[in-house]
Amino acid sequence: MSTEANGANRIDLRLTAAAGHGALMPYLTGGYPDLDATAEWIRRFDRRGVAAVEIGFPYSDSIADGPVIQDSFYRVLEGGQKTEQLFEMVAALRSQVQAALVAMVSFSIVRRVGTEAFVHRAADAGFDGLIIPDIPYEESSDLGASAAAHQLRHVMLVAPTTPAARAEEIARRSSGFVYLVSTRGITGERDELPHDLRTRVEHLRAVSSLPVCVGFGIGTAEHVRQVCTVADGAIVGSAIVRRITDALDAGQPRDAIVESVAQFVEGLADGVG
């Protein structure tokens, strides 16, 4: 289930525990290169003390993900993996890890399954929250209510192009944390972080008591450190997935890939206190 024994949501607990030094939230494409590897990485990340792991649900027409993550989606889908298999992996893993598990999923998948059915299945599997980057704000209230009824957090995104008034509305409707997109465009690594990041974080904190976590463009331990000096957490995705792809394309043995990616994320964790 999506809560610990005391009834508190793990996202809330982990981000509260990370207050003052920041939280690392690595992202994995679920099932890339296979579900066992995904589970092993989550266990390794958990032992390193990460606050949460985002698990991406592969989808053929994702609009927010850059070429690195989109390519991983294609490879998983070509292998025939189904959504239910990802839920089953999380359910089997849930009792083994303390980190929060957050589903990053296209609204098209949610609608295909049915909003209530998807939310119920996610909670039953042991997810703690949902990030649905392509759901229109105007259509998000029903999903948010369903998530709340199942004790899931519905994390919403604020982009650099989001008008200030709308950003405030999104921050107030979000739960768990506010996902602040650091850069314009799709996911992917960047050489440097935007200069106005602190100002944007402070604006959201002025209208919401939720933690503010920053994603898109973060790819090094130094980036993580910089983000965590101004925000509550750093989300790293493309940099992790690219290392998996590069290792696969280089023909590295599976065990070596699992180990090298785990070590990379453990190094990213050095960026938080």
pLDDT for position 69 = 93
Name the DSSP letter for residue 233. Answer: E
Closest CA to 170 of 142, 147, 204: 204
pLDDT for position 174 = 97
User: Rounded to an integer, what distance in angstroms lies between the CA atom of residue 32 and that of residue 56?
Assistant: 10
Q: Which residue has the tokens 């899931």?
A: 152
Q: Which CATH number fits domain 10-271: 3.20.20.70, 3.40.640.10, 3.40.50.150, 2.40.100.10?
A: 3.20.20.70
Catalytic residue among 12, 46, 54, 128: 54
Catalytic residue among 12, 46, 65, 128: 65
User: Rounded to an integer, what distance in angstroms lies between the CA atom of residue 243 and that of residue 273?
Assistant: 24
pTM of the model: 0.94
| H or E, element range at 117 | helix 115-125
pLDDT for position 232 = 96
pLDDT for position 55 = 98
Buried-state track 84-100, b at ≥16 Cβ within 10 A, e below 16? eebbebbeebbeebebb
Does 65 participate in catalysis according to the annotation? Answer: yes
pLDDT for position 65 = 62
Does 255 participate in catalysis according to the annotation? Answer: no
Q: Which residues of the chain have pLDDT under 50?
A: 5, 185-190
Q: What is the CA radius of gyration of the chain?
A: 17
pLDDT for position 1 = 59
